[in-house]
Amino acid sequence: MPDDLPRFRYHPDPVSTGSIVGSPALCVSCREARGFIYTGPVYAADDLSEKLCPWCIADGAAAQTLAASFTDVGADVPDGVPTTVLDEIEHRTPSYLAWQQDHWMYHCADGCEFLGRAGHEELAAMPAEAAAAVAASVAEYGWDQDETDTFVKDLDADAVPTAYLFRCLHCRAYSAYCDAD
Ligand SMILES: [Zn+2]
Ligand SMILES: [Zn+2]
């Protein structure tokens, strides 16, 4: 990733997760070809997919001039997360492709950083806390052990079901959710 790309709540960056890609495309907000384009979901009246550069997302220009938002803050935002953080996540943070509805996650009264989509293989290569966060999110479905084991084994970064991994910017705790039918 080039050093001059804006910083976002991503680790290591939205290029690694595929939310931003190298592209010669023109940005409809600044009308320049900056070399990078955002590929994730855009909520706006016009179809703005793959038409915005990361700089116009970071400084709020795209959100303001095109009445666009990028990330669903989620239905379960914990108490204590400042509205300024939610505004940043909704209007100045790239989102990511999810099979079902994308949404952000929170910890320590702040928005987390997104680590990317993960499957069984990716989780096995990560710290045990990542798999534990996925297991905790799956536990909410109330399945028995066999169903849970099968689901976790089937997790795939590029197919349904996928785990979406986040990490706290303060205490480094992992959090995750999965798409499930
Ligand atoms: Zn732009
Ligand atoms: Zn935390």
For residue range 54-91, list pLDDT tens digits in order: 999 999 999 999 999 999 998 889 999 999 999 999 99
Quick one: DSSP state of residue 106? E
Stated pTM of the model: 0.94
With CA atoms as reference, report the closest residue to 115 among 154, 167, 72. 167
The range of the structural domain enclosing residue 33 comes to: 20-66
Residue 108: predicted pLDDT: 98
* Domain annotation covers residue 92: no
Q: Indicate which ligand has the atom closest to the C-alpha of 6.
A: 1
Q: Indicate which ligand has the atom closest to the C-alpha of 34.
A: 1
Name residue, tokens 């855009």: 42
Structure tokens at 148: 């849970």
* Mean predicted confidence (pLDDT) in 109-124: 97
* Domain annotation covers residue 86: no
Give residue 113 CA to ligand 2 midpoint distance, Å: 11
Residues 126 and 173 in one domain: yes
Whether 23 and 50 have beta carbons less than 8 Å apart is answered as yes
Please say which residue of 66, 96, 122 terminates a domain: 66
* Domain annotation covers residue 89: no
* Domain annotation covers residue 96: no
Residue 1: predicted pLDDT: 56
Give residue 23 CA to ligand 2 midpoint distance, Å: 35
Three-state SS for 99?
coil
**Sign (positive or negative) of CA dihedral 23, 24, 28, 30:** positive
Residue 102: predicted pLDDT: 86
Q: Which helix (H) or strand (E) holds 147?
A: helix 145-154
Residues 174 and 110 in one domain: yes
Residue 76: predicted pLDDT: 86
Domains of the chain: total: 2
* Domain annotation covers residue 15: no
